[in-house]
Structure 1
Amino acid sequence: MFTGLSAFPLTPMDEHKIDEAGFVRLVTRLVEAGVDSIGALGSTGSYAYLSRAERAKVAQLAVQNAGKIPVMVSIAALRTRDVLEYAEDAQKAGVNGVLLAPMSYQQLKDEEVYDLYKTVTANLSVPLCVYDNPGTTNFHFSDALHGRIAQLPNVRSIKIPGVPASVTQARARVDQLRALIPSYVTIGVSGDSSAATGLNAGCEAWYSVIGGLFPRTALELSRAARGGDSAEAIRLSERLQPLWSLFAECGGSLRVVAAAAELQGLVNRACLPAPLKSASGVIREKLALVIKELELA
């Protein structure tokens, strides 16, 4: 399940409850498009803003509506105790894998992060994907630490940040990490604007934000790269440059994707947990045009 397009949907909500119908609509779109896996409760899924009961419910809804498509959910939390509880809930829901970022309020040290993964993997019966997301966690993995963690039981993938824009440099980055981890541990790229470069450079998976809302668009790019047509993958990514520019203009993808889901009527308006707000004003107007002109689907 840690290869191809892993689509990460929003978890739409208001201040009182999760928009369960909206979430199911998003998952259904992914199933109908035929994504390779579903990554519920990722950063796009706002896991850090949800209670244990809410996270358990989202995991259940994802599994119940995913059909034969494998489901991975995030189990990250500030305390190892809570991570283990979320892991237990996810496994009870029937997920096929879990995603774990070293989430913390106090900046973590390497040994603390290693011990987190050692403790969690020892208590899992499903595979785990390591989530390397320094922009959110403020923790920077070294390749050496990735190599140590990749040896732990049940570790099967590493979700790395965006790769360098140069294919040569991106391949060097992927090869450097590949040399330190077992062959059965895949490397997946995140940061949608660098997905084509990452896949062309040897990443086996794309952990995708736009895949969670526009799965057919993301699948076209993913399949081109995975099929060896690197030039077509780059062309498709360059075609999406107006969307990548909006991500940059808005300080990240979450607010833009939330606004896109609202514009398409897939979720209720104001679908992010306060104080977060979906993109508005000029960015929202630009986004509506981009969705139409690029025929995102």
Structure 2
Amino acid sequence: MFRGLSAFPLTPTDEHDIDHRAYATLVSRLAAAGVDSVGALGSTGGYAYLSREQRARAARTAVEAAAGVPVIVSIGALRTSQVLELAEDAQKAGAAGVLLAAMTYQPLTDEEVFGLYEDVTRELSVPLCVYDNPRTTKVRFSTELHGRIARLPHVGSIKIPAVSDDPGEARARVDALRAVVPETVTIGVSGDWAGVRGLNAGCDVWYSAVGGLFPRATLALARAAQAGDAAKADALSDELAPLWDLFTRYGGLRVLSAAASQLGLAAEPNLPRPLLGLDEAARSEVADVLDLLRLTAD
């Protein structure tokens, strides 16, 4: 499950509720394309903006629509008690695994971060992926802390931020983690534009937001890297450079929101306030890039 391409779709949301029909369509597309797992309610899925009840229903929708493809459900929340409730809901929904970022308002010490994962893994019956997302959460994991957490029961993977542009530095980062985590724990990379760098540096899985909307393009890249064809993987990533440029300028979530709307896969608005979609000029850029790269809803 924690290998290959893990695709994280948008959760189309307005101020009233989740559009479960559109959400089920997005997930079923991923299953049909052959992704290795579906990441439900990740950062692109807007988990932090949803109530417990909304998240529980979304988890059920994702598991049903995935039709047997493993679903990894995010359970991040500010309080440990809330995380435990979300973990229970995810497991009841049939999640094959859970994803946990250490969310915070007050800065957390390493002991507090470790305590969160210790408390949660003690109650789990499914594997957990540790989500290291300092840009969003402001929680920073040292290599030592990753090593401690990785030895807790049920930890199956670590999702790290984008690795260095330098191949040697990227490989060194992955190797440093490999040296401190058990062999049973995989290492995955996020940051879509950096996915190829992580995979070519030895990461086992690409946790991909763009894969949640364009699974065929990202699967081709991931499979090339898995086969050891780094040159082909690099070339496929380079072909997506116009998309990566949009991500850099506007943020991946907003670009994917606009793209889902452009392709007729989600209505507008599909982001929870106070998040706003792109303006008309930026939407036109997204439409142009989709046409240029021949990225369609198929």
Normalised to the residue count of structure 1, the TM-score between the two structures is 0.99
In structure 2, the partner of 1:144 is 144
Distance 2:25 2:271 in 1: 16
Do the aligned residues in 2 keep the contact of 1:193 with 1:244 (CA within 8 Å)? yes
Do the aligned residues in 1 keep the contact of 2:257 with 2:270 (CA within 8 Å)? yes
Q: Per-residue deviation at 1:282?
A: 2.2
Matched, 1:122 2:118: no
Gaps in structure 1 of 5+ consecutive residues: none
In structure 2, the partner of 1:112 is 112
In structure 2, the partner of 1:3 is 3
* Residue type of the alignment partner of 2:77: A
* Residue type of the alignment partner of 1:270: P
Normalised to the residue count of structure 2, the TM-score between the two structures is 0.98
* Residue type of the alignment partner of 2:82: D
Identity within the alignment, %: 60
**Structure 1 segment 257-276 matched on structure 2, within 5 A:** 257-276=256-275
Do the aligned residues in 2 keep the contact of 1:259 with 1:280 (CA within 8 Å)? no
Matched, 1:230 2:230: yes
Q: Per-residue deviation at 1:280?
A: 2.2
Q: Per-residue deviation at 1:68?
A: 1.8
Do the aligned residues in 2 keep the contact of 1:129 with 1:159 (CA within 8 Å)? yes
In structure 2, the partner of 1:62 is 62
Distance 1:154 1:60 in 2: 22
Q: Per-residue deviation at 1:183?
A: 0.7
Secondary structure at the aligned position of 1:55 is classed as helix
Structure 1, 53-62 or 282-291: larger mean CA deviation: 282-291
Matched, 1:244 2:241: no
Q: Per-residue deviation at 1:269?
A: 1.1
Q: Per-residue deviation at 1:284?
A: 1.2
* Residue type of the alignment partner of 1:28: S
Distance 1:104 1:169 in 2: 29
Structure 1, 239-248 or 1-10: larger mean CA deviation: 239-248
In structure 2, the partner of 1:255 is 254
Backbone CA RMSD of aligned residues: 0.7
Secondary structure at the aligned position of 1:107 is classed as coil
Do the aligned residues in 1 keep the contact of 2:160 with 2:187 (CA within 8 Å)? yes
Gaps in structure 2 of 5+ consecutive residues: none
* Residue type of the alignment partner of 2:38: I
* Residue type of the alignment partner of 1:235: A
Q: How many residues align?
A: 296
Structure 1, 233-242 or 148-157: larger mean CA deviation: 233-242
Do the aligned residues in 1 keep the contact of 2:25 with 2:65 (CA within 8 Å)? no
Distance 2:11 2:277 in 1: 13
